[in-house]
Structure 1
Amino acid sequence: MVRAPDLLDRNFVAPAPNRCWVADFTHITTWSATVYVAFVIDIFSRRIVDWSAATSKETQLVLDAPDMALW
């Protein structure tokens, strides 16, 4: 597996809002199912810009979070 390039060089600092976003994908196990969550974070404010969740690990789940954030 090839890892994506580190475009920020691990320097998670932004001079102003909406200059740099990072994304993450994780899962949460509940009593009834596993929920997969993808989210986009603004580096400057450290706030979640947008997120998406689903009970299946599909590509569209991961793509929905940045698409909605841009919208």
Structure 2
Amino acid sequence: MAAKAPAVIGVLTEPPAPTWWKANRHNVFGIGGLLIGYLVGTHLHGAPQQQPETPRPVHTAPASATR
């Protein structure tokens, strides 16, 4: 018995060229993420810096009032 030739099931074709968006979306998201990160880092601040409390004069009663 002779071997049968392989049957052709389909024809491979070259896929279409990607659109501009599919080819460059990683660049767009990368640049967008960097811009958003920069804006968040420079414009949003955490808790405000607390100033050290200034010393206040201690109230002392006159010596005659303590007895």
- Give the TM-score, by structure 1 length: 0.16
Find the structure with the greater CA-based Rg: 2
In terms of fraction of residues, the more strand-rich structure is: 1
Higher relative contact order (CA 8 A, sep 6+): 1
The structure with more helix, counted as a fraction of residues: 2
TM-score, normalising length from structure 2?
A: 0.17
